[in-house]
């Protein structure tokens, strides 16, 4: 991790702790999400564009995420670049490599429908999102890393993962 | 309908990570996976990639970061610091390892692999660890799987498996040159490098050279005393190419050589010097298909060994194919087949007919996840082996050429139930049946000699049957606090029809035979039970520590009397208590580690001269070792290592040799 991110990520985590959310995103969650995005097949190069889809209540959290990724957030062997997408503007999800769903965007049928029709992988730290097939991936980093992929959601989103990765996660 | 099932229900598994589709589509990126999951990953327990906390076996995973911290010069030295590992140092290069039971000379109960290629010597089933064509700096991780694992790995995996995985050159360039200089003038040098050529090719090369004094001989080891005056010499090299033929197909090719000259202890507890010249060639093709990841592996091991009792020339050729795939979301399946051809020239006496075997095996592994809390792994393997000899032994031998045309068929299995209870941790219930097949020594050995002026024949025995090892284990791992982890296991390993050697009294006497004959034979049963307990702490700050304790008790039910009927004594040669501790401190540039090992008293067989078997008491001992490393920058690092620092000029740790305090200075350059 670069020195910049060692500073930014704890600060971001502290900020997020103050933001009401259905599933608060921690520093470790961000690291796991970033590294997990590296295992989505089909993308070329190391740059990944991440759409941060937020509702009005989670705008602060979204801004903090975007700030952490400004200039590119290195996570494993990929670099994440943020694109802020208000929940009402789901058309802007298209073209992204992944969409991190915040607040009520996680579990919203319209958001998932827009992302999946655009072939964008959706991810949330709110596990109910992946369990209800409104997200492709759910991520939890504590007490140990837990990654859940909804196969139905991934199929409908035309998203596939490196198979070694698929073997080491939970599929539902 | 069938096609539809296949296309809709089978999800293809590739041992790949998808950072770049053109890069190494088929190889598991251990570093990236470990970083993601926050724990080591492995494919060593079932053949499928898994997180260490999920494996259905008791495993030790030793990473490159761990290896760098040990004041040890070889893999047996590193392994001795872990729970359940029995270790004996019979010579500078002859460290022997066993899992949960005596580390006897030429210990034949362990399967050792380097990148999937067997590196134990198939001719007897033991591992001459100094001959492994691997430098410590090129190791990604060492995986130790405890207990019988024949259903997954095949013969010899009866007390466990050591799987050594080298760093994949497709996952990054590196180059390191290192030299260790001992205070007595010995040296140990290594060079390792990996380089990528475009997106589709990468090469790894390594070379090692070492020369140093042998260990002092044991007080009673008469024949070891002149051998101890000679130097140990080792030279090894390896070159590996990895090629992505397409985005879905990759090829790995590897060639290695080893030349080693060392003092060692033989399986009949006699002191000897041996010269090893080993060569290997390997090719592996992996294809990510609609029906799973299909892997085809072929390798050939060539051995030219000058033993004290005669030369051995042996070849092992192996072909293996497997398919790994997932059915639905909760089932992982691996099916495989293996063909082996092992040939040995008439040994050690020439002219008695070359001999060897052909074997065919079929295996299947199934892992099913019932829930996040429960999963089950079942594996089975069927082996069929046919021995033959292409000439008749001389007239004084008791077996005809036809007697060597023997076959056997065996089934082995592994079963493991993994439970992650709501109160925390992981509990594993495991059972396995391992097969230890008779080897070339056991079957085809022919030697006519004299003892005390009397003619004597030492002979292999085609009537030998495989040893069967049944193992049972319950293990529990959990984090006690966020910074302290605990591991515990209770185990039992029962071996029937132990592969054993002759004692002083001939197995065949005139008039049945012309010359009294000593036979390799099955020599009864032995059972080891015990438990392990370990703690590891990694608190905030610079310190880390770990400690483990193993209690083991071995009971023999061997045929005949020690010395007359055989020279085995697993019961007294197995230490009841093993304790290992470590404390480490890590700063920005300086790291310091201290290690302690305790081994309780044993009694070891010894033949100070052939034909006079006796037993030697080995007192319990404590070994203390230190290492300090200092990294000047990203390119230059130095270290000071003191192995067994409290041993002085020698401490009797085996009947053959004394372990002494060794101090060396290390200089390494990475670029």
Nearest residue in A to B483, CA atom: A143
pLDDT confidence bin for A23, thresholds 50/70/90:
low
Separation of alpha carbons B643 and B620, rounded Å: 18
Could you tell me the two tokens for B489?
A: 């296991």
B329·A168 Cβ contact <8 A = no
Average pLDDT, chain B: 91
CA distances from B196 to A110, A170, B172 (A): 45, 33, 7
Whether residue A148 is predicted with pLDDT greater than 60 in this model: the reply is: yes
- For B121-180, what is each residue's pLDDT tens digit? 988 889 999 999 999 999 999 999 999 988 888 878 899 999 999 999 988 899 999 999
Q: Is A165 on the interface with B (CB under 8 A)?
A: yes
Check: CB of residue B105 under 8 Å from CB of residue B127.
Answer: no
ipTM score for this prediction: 0.81
Max Cα–Cα distance, chain B, nearest Å: 78
Separation of alpha carbons B528 and B492, rounded Å: 6
A164·B14 Cβ contact <8 A = yes
Q: Domain A3-171 - what CATH class?
A: alpha beta
Evaluate the CA torsion angle A101, A105, A106, A111 in order and state its sign.
Answer: negative
- For B396-454, what is each residue's pLDDT tens digit? 899 999 999 999 999 999 999 999 999 999 999 999 999 999 999 999 999 999 888 88
- For B484-510, what is each residue's pLDDT tens digit? 999 999 999 999 999 988 888 999 999
Could you tell me the two tokens for A104?
A: 């009520």
- Cis omega (within 30 of 0) for bond into B348: yes
Average pLDDT, chain A: 80
- Cis omega (within 30 of 0) for bond into B588: no
When CB atoms are compared, the residue of A36, A45, A163 closest to B13 is A163
Element (H, E) at B76: helix B75-79
Separation of alpha carbons B234 and B259, rounded Å: 6
β-pair partners for B210: B188, B234
Cα atoms in the Cβ-side hemisphere of radius 13 Å centred on B195: 7
CB count in 10 Å sphere of residue B243: 17
Identify the CA nearest to B104 among candidates B598, B522, B412, B498: B498
Kindly list the residues from chain B whose CB atom is less than 8 angstroms away from the CB atom of residue A45. 20
**Which of the pair, B317 or B501, is modelled with greater confidence?**
B317
The pLDDT, as a whole number, for residue A4 is 44
Could you tell me the two tokens for A7?
A: 């500073």
- For B551-569, what is each residue's pLDDT tens digit? 999 999 999 899 888 999 9
Nearest residue in A to B54, CA atom: A168
Whether residue B1 is predicted with pLDDT greater than 70 in this model: the reply is: no
- For B347-380, what is each residue's pLDDT tens digit? 999 999 999 999 999 999 999 999 989 999 999 9
Cα atoms in the Cβ-side hemisphere of radius 13 Å centred on B364: 3
Q: Is A143 on the interface with B (CB under 8 A)?
A: yes
DSSP code of residue A125 = S
Separation of alpha carbons B343 and B639, rounded Å: 45
| Phi, psi of B150, rounded to the nearest 5 degrees | -65, -30
Residue with structure tokens 């996660």? A169
DSSP code of residue A64 = H
Separation of alpha carbons B261 and B264, rounded Å: 10
Domain that holds residue B146: 2-670
- Report the number of distinct structural domains present in chain B: 1
**Residue B33: left (phi > 0), alpha (psi -120 to 50), or beta?**
alpha
- For B177-218, what is each residue's pLDDT tens digit? 999 999 988 999 999 999 999 989 999 999 999 999 999 999
pLDDT confidence bin for B290, thresholds 50/70/90:
confident
Kindly list the residues from chain A whose CB atom is less than 8 angstroms away from the CB atom of residue B332. 167
Whether residue B581 is predicted with pLDDT greater than 70 in this model: the reply is: yes
- Cis omega (within 30 of 0) for bond into B511: yes
Nearest residue in A to B424, CA atom: A143
Strands B467-481 and B484-496: antiparallel
Kindly list the residues from chain B whose CB atom is less than 8 angstroms away from the CB atom of residue A36. 36
A145·B38 Cβ contact <8 A = yes
**Which of the pair, A123 or A143, is modelled with greater confidence?**
A123
Nearest residue in B to A76, CA atom: B32
Q: Which CATH number fits the domain that encloses residue B531?
A: 2.40.170.20
Which of B22, B36, B170, B172 should one mutate to test binding to chain A, selecting the residue with the greatest count of A CBs within 10 A?
A: B36
**Which of the pair, A96 or B475, is modelled with greater confidence?**
B475
The pLDDT, as a whole number, for residue B25 is 35
Q: Domain limits of chain A?
A: 3-171
Check: CB of residue B417 under 8 Å from CB of residue B431.
Answer: no
- Which of A:71-100 have CB within 8 Å of B? 76-78
Q: Is A3 on the interface with B (CB under 8 A)?
A: no
**Which of the pair, A75 or B612, is modelled with greater confidence?**
B612
Element (H, E) at A110: helix A109-117
CA distance A13 to chain B (A): 18
Q: Is A46 on the interface with B (CB under 8 A)?
A: yes
Q: Is A44 on the interface with B (CB under 8 A)?
A: yes
Separation of alpha carbons B116 and B113, rounded Å: 5
Q: Annotate B446-458 with DSSP letters as a single string.
A: EEEEEETTEEEEE
Separation of alpha carbons A113 and A91, rounded Å: 11
The pLDDT, as a whole number, for residue A35 is 86
Whether residue A17 is predicted with pLDDT greater than 60 in this model: the reply is: no
B39·A38 Cβ contact <8 A = no
Kindly list the residues from chain B whose CB atom is less than 8 angstroms away from the CB atom of residue A34. none
Kindly list the residues from chain B whose CB atom is less than 8 angstroms away from the CB atom of residue A44. 20-21
pTM for this entry: 0.90
pLDDT confidence bin for B391, thresholds 50/70/90:
very high
């Amino acid at each position: 991790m670069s020195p910049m991110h060692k500073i930014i990520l704890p600060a971001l985590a502290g900020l997020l702790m103050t933001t009401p959310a259905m599933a608060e995103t921690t520093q470790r969650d961000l690291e796991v999400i970033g590294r997990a995005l590296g295992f989505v097949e089909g993308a070329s190069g190391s740059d990944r564009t991440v759409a941060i889809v937020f509702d009005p209540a989670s705008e602060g959290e979204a801004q903090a995420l975007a700030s952490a990724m400004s200039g590119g957030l290195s996570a494993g062997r990929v670099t994440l670049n943020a694109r802020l997408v208000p929940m009402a503007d789901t058309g802007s999800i298209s073209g992204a490599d992944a969409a991190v769903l915040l607040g009520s965007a996680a579990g919203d049928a319209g958001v998932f429908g827009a992302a999946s029709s655009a072939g964008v992988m959706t991810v949330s730290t709110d596990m109910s999102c992946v369990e209800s097939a409104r997200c492709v991936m759910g991520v939890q980093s504590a007490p140990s890393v837990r990654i859940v992929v909804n196969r139905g959601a991934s199929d409908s989103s035309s998203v596939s993962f490196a198979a070694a990765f698929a073997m080491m996660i939970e599929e539902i | 309908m069938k096609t539809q099932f296949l296309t809709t229900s089978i999800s293809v598994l590739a041992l790949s990570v998808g950072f770049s589709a053109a890069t190494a589509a088929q190889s598991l990126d251990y570093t990236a996976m470990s970083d993601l999951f926050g724990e080591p990953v492995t494919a060593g327990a079932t053949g499928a990639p898994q997180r260490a906390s999920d494996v259905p076996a008791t495993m030790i995973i030793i990473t490159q970061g761990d290896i760098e911290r040990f004041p040890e010069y070889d893999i047996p030295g590193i392994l001795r610091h872990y729970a359940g590992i029995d270790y004996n140092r019979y010579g500078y290069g002859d460290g022997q390892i066993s899992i949960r039971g005596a580390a006897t000379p030429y210990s034949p109960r362990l399967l050792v692999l380097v990148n999937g290629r067997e590196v134990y010597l198939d001719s007897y089933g033991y591992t001459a660890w100094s001959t492994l064509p691997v430098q410590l700096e090129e190791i990604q991780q060492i995986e130790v799987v405890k207990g019988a694992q024949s259903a997954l790995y095949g013969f010899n995996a009866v007390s466990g498996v050591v799987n050594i995985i080298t760093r994949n050159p497709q996952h990054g360039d590196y180059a390191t040159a290192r030299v260790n200089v001992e205070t007595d003038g010995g040296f140990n040098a290594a060079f390792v490098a990996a380089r990528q050529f475009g997106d589709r090719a990468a090469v790894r090369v390594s070379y090692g050279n070492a020369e140093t004094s042998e260990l002092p001989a044991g007080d009673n080891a008469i024949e070891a005393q002149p051998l101890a005056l000679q130097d140990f010499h080792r030279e090894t090299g390896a070159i590996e190419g990895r090629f992505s033929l397409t985005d879905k197909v990759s090829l790995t090719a590897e060639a290695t050589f080893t030349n080693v000259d060392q003092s060692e202890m033989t399986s009949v507890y006699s002191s000897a010097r041996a010269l090893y010249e080993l060569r290997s060639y390997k090719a592996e093709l992996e294809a990510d298909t609609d029906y799973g990841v299909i892997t085809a592996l072929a390798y050939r091991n060539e051995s030219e060994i000058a033993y004290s009792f005669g030369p051995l020339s042996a070849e092992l050729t192996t072909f293996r194919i497997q398919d790994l795939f997932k059915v639905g979301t909760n089932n992982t399946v691996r099916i495989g087949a293996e063909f082996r051809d092992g040939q040995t020239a008439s040994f050690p006496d020439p002219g008695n007919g070359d001999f060897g075997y052909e074997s065919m095996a079929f295996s299947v592994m199934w892992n099913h996840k019932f829930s996040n809390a429960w999963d089950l792994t079942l594996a089975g393997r069927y082996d069929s082996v046919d021995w033959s000899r292409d000439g008749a032994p001389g007239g004084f031998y008791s077996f005809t050429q036809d007697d060597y045309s023997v076959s056997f068929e065996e089934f082995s299995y592994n079963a493991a139930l993994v439970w992650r209870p709501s109160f925390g941790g992981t509990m594993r219930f495991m059972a396995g049946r391992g097969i230890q097949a008779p080897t070339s020594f056991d079957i085809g050995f022919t030697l006519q000699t004299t003892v005390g002026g009397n003619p004597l024949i030492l002979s292999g025995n085609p009537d030998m049957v495989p040893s069967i090892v049944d193992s049972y284990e319950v293990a529990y791992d959990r984090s006690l606090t966020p910074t302290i982890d605990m591991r515990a296991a209770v185990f039992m390993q029962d071996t029937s029809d132990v592969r054993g050697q002759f004692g002083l009294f001939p197995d065949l006497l005139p008039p049945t035979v012309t010359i009294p004959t000593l036979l390799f034979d099955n020599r009864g049963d032995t059972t080891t039970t015990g438990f392990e307990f370990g703690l590891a702490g990694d608190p905030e700050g610079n310190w880390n520590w770990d400690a483990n304790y193993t209690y083991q008790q071995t009971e023999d039910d061997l045929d005949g009397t020690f010395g007359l009927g055989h020279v085995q004594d697993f019961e007294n040669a197995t230490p009841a208590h093993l304790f290992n501790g470590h404390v480490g401190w890590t700063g920005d540039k300086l790291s310091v580690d201290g290690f302690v090992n305790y081994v309780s008293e044993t009694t070891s067989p010894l033949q100070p001269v052939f034909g006079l078997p006796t037993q030697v008491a080995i007192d319990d001992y404590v070994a203390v070792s230190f290492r300090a490393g200092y990294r000047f920058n990203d390119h230059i690092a130095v270290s000071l290592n003191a192995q067994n620092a409290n041993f002085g000029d020698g401490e009797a740790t085996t009947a053959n040799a004394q372990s002494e305090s060794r101090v060396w200075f290390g200089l390494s350059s990475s670029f």
